[in-house]
Amino acid sequence: MPLDPTLRYSGAVNISSFHTHTRLCRHASGDPVDSVRVAAAEGCTGLGISDHCPYPGGLWAGSRMAPEWLDEYLVMVDAARDIAPFPFYWGFECEWHPDSDAWYREYLRGELGAEYLVYGAHWVRTSNGFEYIPEAGDPGNLAPYVDLTVKGLASGLFDLFAHPDIFLAGFPRWDAETRAASRDIVDAAVAMGIPLEVNGLGLTKPKVLGDAGWRAPYPVREFLEFAADSGAVLTCNSDAHRPQDTLALARNAKAQAEAWGIPTVDAMDALAFTKRGAAV
């Protein structure tokens, strides 16, 4: 059923967001149609649903959809597209590891036809398996994390780099090591023309103790200033895990970037749909 066309937001500036989750990932709520309704009421210029991708073999199964739920995901995004009064796209947020490259490239992107892929560099591979980087701040994990992340960026699979500074949640000091890590990561993204996200969800998370006192685990001012100075395109997204956050967190991210004096480009323009798709 189409939305009431009079249901238009008349408050703050309109905005888009391309980082949106659904109940299928087992740690978010709502269906894409719920996200569309909230977004339409709040002044959306473009919306992307990018739930966490599943993995064969049940990797991180507690916080990812099961592969056999992909059919339901496709039905859900089709239903949302049918009612969306703005440009609407769907894809996935994926980690990256060479062992899974064919899964992302040939199956999710090729066979299922995902319209875009968001790179969420959440993990580092250690002797314990794939660990969540904010909780894996052992000094020995930084170099392998950067190495994997740079390779992920260079894979040519990704259209958007989510929370590029998430590792600074586990490595909260802005010192020679984290500056060098940031340089390698930003340079790889810039070389590939991948926009970097200012993540709204991170602003709601428990703070960590940085050099200048308590700060959000991400986004991180020093990282984003460095990225902007390096010529990166920065774009604000919600990373919504509840329908009510579909646009609100992107607006918070934009307000934070503006308060820091960091220039951003609206996600709809940054993805320009999508420069990368033809190259994969």
- The contact pattern for Zn ion, residues 53-92, with x = CB under 5 A and - = no contact, is ----------------------------------------
Q: Considering only 99-107, 171-179, 217-225, 232-240, which stretch makes contact with Zn ion by CB under 5 A?
A: 232-240
Give the type of residue at 55.
Y
Q: Considering only 136-144, 178-186, 234-242, 249-257, which stretch makes contact with Zn ion by CB under 5 A?
A: 234-242
Q: Does 239 bind Zn ion (CB under 5 A)?
A: yes
Tell me the longest C-alpha to C-alpha distance in the chain.
Answer: 56
Buried b (16+ CB within 10 A) or exposed e, 17-39: bbbbbbbbbeebebbbbbbbbbb
Q: Does 93 bind Zn ion (CB under 5 A)?
A: yes
Q: Considering only 152-160, 185-193, 237-245, 266-274, which stretch makes contact with Zn ion by CB under 5 A?
A: 237-245
**Phi, psi values for residue 136, rounded to 5°:** -130, 50
Q: What is the DSSP letter of 17?
A: E
Q: What is the DSSP letter of 171?
A: S
Give the type of residue at 183.
R
Closer to Zn ion by CB, 93 or 245: give it. 93
Q: What is the DSSP letter of 72?
A: H
Tokens encoding 185: 């990561």
Element (H, E) at 66: none
User: From the CB of 237, what's the least distance to Zn ion, in Å?
Assistant: 9
Residues in region 12-31 near Zn ion by CB under 5 A: none
Tokens encoding 245: 């956050």
Give the type of residue at 137.
G
Residue 204, classed as helix, strand or coil, is helix
Closer to Zn ion by CB, 34 or 174: give it. 34
Q: Considering only 41-49, 129-137, 235-243, 262-270, which stretch makes contact with Zn ion by CB under 5 A?
A: 235-243
User: From the CB of 189, what's the least distance to Zn ion, in Å?
Assistant: 17
Q: How many residues bind Zn ion (CB under 5 A)?
A: 2
Q: What is the DSSP letter of 240?
A: B
Residues that bind Zn ion (CB under 5 A): 93, 239
